[in-house]
């Protein structure tokens, strides 16, 4: 069974239809990446999954529950999702440890000691244990983004949504963030990732989806999309970015 099912999703901003009938299934442990030109609707689709946007038509199911049902408990849905954006969005006045334990303690009502133990486990696993007491401005961009991903993991999400998480980083810092994403993949985490870096996409994805002006035009394993795309529009997009 799919972990996430997106069926016929439409999203309009004024008279601009930004998502036009998106269908997508994400299986447990699958890494799906969304590629497409700037403005094609990648971020909006992630925001619809996270209920930061309401859909105008269609439905999204998470673990069999329709999360686009207006009666749904939005906080309950978000507890099962971890979202990380391009800008690191760490709280600058809080230590790494406090950034990571904030949601477990406040939203999930985990005791401080247990939350800190779990945070330290995660930091250790990703090679950042010595940064627990540091403040965000004492970290490199790559370290900050890794902490942001760890923060999203700390609540035990079913699905991670990563939106251009390497785009704001200097090239030499991208590798460490990709290594973390790969390790997450190996540990079985289900993820939807947007990126404009095709090498990253090829490297981490089970399935690549090409969005063209709000339409999911083509999807398949990276070998197929990158070597023999079916659509001319996919081909010309890839030519423009490769």
Question: Taking the complex as a whole, how short is the minimal distance between the CB of residue 24 and ligand ADP, in angstroms?
Answer: 15
User: Does residue 36 touch ligand ADP according to CB under 6 A?
Assistant: yes
Which range binds ligand ADP by CB under 6 A, 35-43, 66-74, 114-122, 151-159?
35-43
| Closest approach of Mg ion to the CB of residue 31, in Å | 18
**Which phi and psi angles does 24 have, rounded to 5°?**
-160, 135
Let me know the angle formed at the C-alpha of 27 by 17 and 32, rounded to the nearest 5 degrees: 55
Nearer to Mg ion, 40 or 99 (CB): 40
H or E element that contains 60: strand 57-62
50 part of the interface to ligand ADP, by CB under 6 A = no
Binder of residue 157, out of Mg ion, ligand ADP, none (CB less than 5 to 8 A by kind): none
Our measurement of the distance from residue 203's CA atom to the centroid of its chain's CA atoms, rounded to an integer in Å, reads 16
Return the exposure string of 73-107: e unless at least 16 CB atoms fall within 10 Å of the residue's CB, then b: eeeebbbbbbbbbbebebeeeebbbbbbbbbbbee
Closest to Mg ion by CB, 227 or 240: 240
Closer CB to ligand ADP, 33 or 143, in the complex:
33
Return the bridge partners of 192, or none: 32, 161
3-state secondary structure of 222: helix
Name the minimum Å distance from CB 109 to ligand ADP: 32
Between residues 152 and 165, which has the closer beta carbon with respect to Mg ion? Answer: 165
**Rule CB under 6 A: which residues touch ligand ADP?**
13, 18, 36, 38-44
């Amino acid at each position: 069974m799919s972990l996430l099912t997106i069926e016929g999703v439409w999203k309009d901003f004024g008279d601009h239809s930004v998502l036009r009938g998106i269908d997508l299934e994400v299986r447990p442990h699958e890494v799906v990446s969304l590629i497409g030109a700037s403005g094609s609707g990648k971020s909006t689709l992630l925001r619809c999954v996270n209920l930061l946007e309401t859909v105008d038509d269609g439905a999204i199911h998470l673990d069999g529950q329709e999360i686009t049902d207006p009666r749904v408990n939005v906080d309950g849905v978000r507890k099962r999702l971890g979202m990380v954006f391009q800008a690191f969005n760490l709280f600058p006045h809080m230590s790494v440890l406090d950034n990571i334990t904030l949601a477990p303690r406040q939203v999930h009502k985990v005791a401080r000691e247990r939350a800190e133990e779990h945070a330290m486990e995660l930091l250790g696993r990703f090679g950042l244990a010595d940064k627990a007491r540091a403040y965000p401005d004492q970290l490199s961009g790559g370290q900050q983004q890794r902490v942001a991903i760890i923060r999203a993991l700390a609540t035990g999400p079913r699905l991670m949504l990563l939106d251009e998480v390497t785009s704001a980083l200097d090239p030499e810092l991208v590798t460490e963030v990709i290594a973390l994403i790969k390790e997450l993949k190996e540990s079985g985490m289900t993820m939807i990732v947007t990126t404009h870096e095709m090498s990253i996409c090829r490297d981490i994805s089970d399935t690549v989806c090409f969005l063209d002006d709000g339409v999911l035009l083509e999807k398949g394993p990276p070998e197929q999309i990158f070597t023999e795309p079916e659509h001319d529009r996919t081909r010309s997009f890839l030519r423009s970015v490769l």
